[in-house]
Amino acid sequence: MNSGDTVLEIGCGTGLNFELLQHQVGPQGKIIGVDLTAEMLAKARRRIERNHWSNITLMQSDAAAFEFPRQVDGIISTFALTLVPEYDKVIQHAAAALPSGKRLVILDFKMPDSWPMWLIKLLVILTRPYGVTLDLGDRHLWESVDRYLKTVLFKELYFGGVYICAGQAGQEENA
């Protein structure tokens, strides 16, 4: 991302990423935060007001029903998109909104290949209040990124329990 860019965050929650995004796009850039819940957006709105940011637009929408604006310079999602059953549709629509060379970046949880099942089940129990269930391990968002964009990064973190994936729009994409 560069100064002046427009970035869209799917599942922006309380706006925790906004400060980092502000450093990238600057006051002349634009941030669009999308979240399903009014409660999360109310907290994000307070964060915006507290920091006197004037370049952020918040939108309440289910990610699967969201109509992506055309020509955004980047789209991110952190620990949110795995919770959306229609994640493949969301990634397809996100990819269609990106001009050539622009990226979708996802940071999310994944089922670690080398962890014992008892540990995975324990962590699912601990994260259940956040909507985490064992079946979410079957959702491989990086495969959808690879289907609709050119994957330029896939890296596992935290011993395989988290990943970051970036897909870039362009002529090389598989869609």
Mean of pLDDT over the chain: 89
Q: What does the pLDDT read at residue 128?
A: 73
175 pLDDT tier (thresholds 50, 70, 90): very low
Lowest average pLDDT, out of 79-88, 105-114, 130-139, goes to: 130-139
Question: Is 53 within the bounds of a domain?
Answer: yes
Pairing state of beta strands 74-78 and 56-60? unpaired
> CA torsion angle for 41, 45, 47, 51 (degrees, to 10)?
150
Determine the Cα angle at 78 with ends 54 and 41, to 5°.
Answer: 45
pTM given for the model: 0.86
Question: Is 150 within the bounds of a domain?
Answer: yes
Q: What does the pLDDT read at residue 10?
A: 97
Domain that holds residue 98: 6-109+137-168
Residue 159: alpha-carbon gap to chain centroid: 21
Q: What is the per-residue pLDDT across 138-167, written as a single tens digit (0 to 9) for each?
A: 778 999 999 999 988 999 888 878 889 999
**How many domains, in total, are found in the chain?**
1
Adjacent-strand bridge partners of 57: 32
CATH at 97: 3.40.50.150
